[in-house]
Amino acid sequence: MAQTLPILTILLLSLLLQTQSHKFSSKLSPKSFGFKKEKLSHLHFYFHDIVGGDHPTAVRVAAAATTNTSQTGFGATVMIDDPLTVGPERTSKIVGRAQGIYASACLTETRLLMALNYVFVEGKYNGSTLSILGTNSVMSPVREMPIVGGSGLFRFARGYALAKTVFFNISNGKYNGSSLSILGRNAVLDPMREMTVVGGSGLFLFAKGYAQAKTHSLDLETGNAVVEYNVVAEATVTNTSASLFGAVVMIDDPLTVGPERTSRIVGRAQGLYASADLDEFGLTMVLNYVFIEGKYNGSTLSILGRNKVMSSVREMPIIGGTGLFRFARGYALAKTYSLNFSNGDAVVEYNVYVIHY
């Protein structure tokens, strides 16, 4: 941890709002942004959540004091940088990454809170993102989660994502030393039987799910049988990364009208950001701008997006708000104004564009 602290400190942002003129707010015409009729698009891809092996894309980063005794692993938090592919095979062409957090957020069943971004790298969508904030009841055959915003070609996006588990594979030899506990009735003469996964160890700690068994061959003379099992389960694993993958930082950063730290404070940026990219410093931002200035006093804007901190300008979706920003949607453009490596301070200029009523 000692090696990561200097870099984490550098990433702590003292946020700056609006432009060099130091004007806090102004009205804009939607026509000046070229607003057109909304489009309805259908994207189809496969989401690979790899929890084991030498190169996992999903690692556990935190847990609650009661997680180890919870039947659902309540409180377990996992950081992901999962590939999105055009086909179900892991070798299929990658069209993007799912970067962010999922966490066990239900006391009675395996239900995950999903706070993540789909970061696309294919064709005209290269560089565009979609933000997901919803609940994922992983044992359901189909799950629906809201799309709450986007960037690039998906600015001001709204929609939903339907998720369906295609398969879960534990037969690739990467789970040596891990186990699953199964409890249920096995009617061996039935063509297909289902039994309950009630727990596990190693990579399958706190696993919940089911196992489907199918007999391929049965020799009554010798008693030999060959049975195929397909297991659906959820597990966590912890790993380290050169890009600090999995590091989570809580913030309560001042928003000022000018770049100087002594400038008038107009609000606070409160929430968290997390390193959710295996290869570079790509942060998942989950936070609120809490304003205390003039007519906006008490109003908030919510951000869920990806912050590629080494880029000159980063775009993140505004997914909602409160007070004067009820039903708001829009985007925020971030630009590093100054960075002091000696003390780890950074000042980031933000221009925020919001549609509200």
CB-CB contact of 331 with 155 (8 Å): yes
> Residue 119 above 90 pLDDT?
yes
Across 278-315, b (16+ Cβ under 10 Å) vs e yields beebbbbbbbbbbbebeebeebbbbbbbbbbbeeeebb
Same domain membership, residue 153 and residue 76: yes
Q: What is the pLDDT of residues 147-174, one digit of tens each?
A: 999 999 999 999 999 998 877 654 443 4
Structural domain that includes position 245: 240-355
Model pTM score:
0.71
Same domain membership, residue 260 and residue 217: no
Same domain membership, residue 283 and residue 200: no
Concatenating the DSSP letter of every residue in 156-209 gives: T--EEEEE--------SS--TT-EEEEES---TTSSSEEEEEEEEEGGGTT--E
CA angle (113, 289, 340) in 5-degree steps: 105
Same domain membership, residue 286 and residue 319: yes
More confident site: 44 or 111: 44
* Domain assignment present for 129: yes
Q: What is the pLDDT of residues 76-86, one digit of tens each?
A: 888 899 999 99
> Residue 123 in 3-state DSSP?
helix
**Joined tokens for residue 325:** 């920003």
**Joined tokens for residue 177:** 């030393």
What mean pLDDT do residues 256-262 have?
Answer: 88
Domain count, the chain: 3
Q: Report the residue count for the chain.
A: 357
Q: What local confidence, expressed as pLDDT, does residue 217 receive?
A: 54
Given the structure tokens 């700690």, which residue do they identify?
205
* Domain assignment present for 7: no
